[in-house]
Copies of this chain bind each other. A is one copy, B any other.
């Protein structure tokens, strides 16, 4: 749906102008919403109406708008975007249009174009060669790139929250730990089945608490059954997963007995060192050293992954991308094809992924801390559902709903 606003002023009610305009809108298969109406107090006073006209496509909208204009109503006509070349690498031109994560169209030479690679906090660059508009982060701008400047000719279409999408009916209300979760988990399972059957991908963004809470084997199950296509995580998830695979501990605590191992606090560094000796996680698997766990399943089942570095990392593991711009680019390459994102127990990676994802990708954020889900929802990702619950039982029940338990 694209929307344009028109205003009608004058004797629009008794002259039947409003009536005719609304007739025309409906006749063209478009829809309207009267957002403001001021009726003159006396017969001689002028009335005023503000109407939002919606159509399925930019072209249909153009058609109905041009038709309405003939009634003499003042139409708030759209103009073309203004394009200004960047003067320096890595710098937008002054007054650049700053993107949201909502679906966006730009008007160029009288026609509306969808913006590709929709992402928050980028500029919109026009590629003359292909005729396409695309979101580009500031660091990737090259001198000479044609960048959209100002708000003119830019239209944002917020993702519907209504029954049409209906991915998560339970998502209407606020983040709370005091709600029954079984309905939510059932709907998440349904969504994952749909996406698995489609050409879209399921993304897991996970923190090390997946391992600490004893949930690694649940994630392995999801991977083995094809429910995870991409994994975004940091060094910590992989390290603690590998620590558990090599020593049976996580942060030095035996997972099966919940008691600390002697010198267990060193296990994570020994795990890192072992993998570094083999050169990579993959090499350690091929050498038969790493035989279980999430990273083992990820590599064995061809799940794509990005391990992004952070300044609190020990080691890190060889596969960790220590340059954050390079890591962002790697993540960006993957999010284009994501149809569902499950974010578990990581604020940093969840927020980073939320920044990259278009707003129409449904996201479920699971954390025992309500602040994390709230933080993500605050960033304008309307499709983000926060589930305040414990990681391990959440994953256990998700497996049951997917008939994997």
A residues with CB within 8 A of B = 13-14, 16, 18-19, 22-23, 26-27, 34, 37, 39-42, 47, 88, 90-92, 96, 98, 121, 137-139, 169-170, 172-174, 177-184, 209, 212-214, 250, 253, 255-260, 265-266, 268-270, 272-273, 276-277, 308-316, 322-325, 327-328, 331, 347-349, 351-352, 355, 368-371, 374, 378, 388-390, 392-394, 396-397
Contacts and interface: CB of A to CB of B under 8 A. Distances in A.
A182 B315 contact: no
A138 B212 contact: no
Nearest to A139: B315
A276 B214 contact: no
A42 B390 CA distance: 57
A169 B355 CA distance: 29
Contact of A322 (B92, B324, B370): B324
Nearest to A207: B178
Contacts of A178: 209, 212-213
A382 to B, nearest CB: 15
- For A325, A388, A390, A397, which residue has the most chain B Cβ atoms within 10 angstroms? A390
Contacts of A34: 34, 37
- For A26, A172, A394, which residue has the most chain B Cβ atoms within 10 angstroms? A26
Nearest to A11: B19
A121 B310 contact: no
12 contacts: A13-B19, A88-B277, A91-B276, A138-B315, A169-B257, A179-B258, A181-B213, A309-B325, A312-B348, A313-B328, A389-B390, A393-B394
Given A19-B14, A392-B181, A138 B311 contact: no
